[in-house]
Amino acid sequence: MSEERIRELLQNADRAAGPPLFGPIRAVDLHQRLRRRRFVWVGIPAAAAAVLLLGFGAWTLRFRLGVPASPHPDRIASLEEQVRQLHAQTDAALKLVQEVLAQERQQQRLEALEAKLASIPDPTAEIERQVDRTAFMLFYEADKLYRELNQTESAVEAYEQVIRLFPDNQWAHVARERLAEIKQVRINKSNTEGDAKCGPQSV
């Protein structure tokens, strides 16, 4: 049989068999499977042996110390009482910790509220600032009427408005000074006009 005929028969056999049932196997997968099997073969018997050794060791120790297989009832009661006391102490400690944490949270909330309150401007100071600003604006308008526009009567009314609305404000004090100045100017002007009328007469 020729080599080509053998190759053809093998190819036909492969086609008839179809694709493989299992995917490609990697070397890493084989190593992992071997490690698992080795662990099962070695680990489980070793664990069983360790449990048996521990049990045997405990039994031997009890036998050497002369401890009876069943503890005395008084000993059991004492141990139970100690366990209850430990539970009570633990509960008390937990309660104390919770109280301390609650107080700490309250303190933190209080400090946060105080910081927030401190960041809010003082309403009294803010009102005073707004009052002072308003008084200044009215005084500025009155001063403009008097100094720049030479409207003395309107300026007098504006100064008097500042004094009437804001009697204790600093700008009310300046407005009083302006009114006194205007009054003095009027007196001086009246005296000057009187002197002009009463000037030297020809003899």
Is pLDDT at 81 greater than 90 in this prediction? no
Return the top range by mean pLDDT from 41-50, 82-91, 133-142. 133-142
Return the top range by mean pLDDT from 109-123, 136-150, 181-195. 136-150
pLDDT at 40 (0 to 100): 55
Q: What is the pLDDT of residues 149-174, one digit of tens each?
A: 999 999 999 999 999 999 999 999 99
CB 145 within 8 A of CB 154: yes
* Least confident span in 48-52, 118-122, 136-140, 163-167: 48-52
* CA distances, 73 to each of 69, 86, 87 (Å): 12, 20, 21
Q: Identity (one letter) of the amino acid at 182? A: I
State how far the Cα of 96 lies from the Cα of 98, in Å rounded to an integer: 5
Angle between helices 123-147 and 152-165 (to 10 degrees): 170
Mean pLDDT of the chain: 78
Q: What is the pLDDT of residues 53-77, one digit of tens each?
A: 666 666 666 556 554 555 577 888 8
Burial 72-102 (b: 16+ CB within 10 A, else e): eeeeeeeeeeeeeeeeeeeeeeeeeeeeeee
pTM above 0.85, yes or no: no
pLDDT at 203 (0 to 100): 39
Residue listed under structure tokens 């141990």 = 79
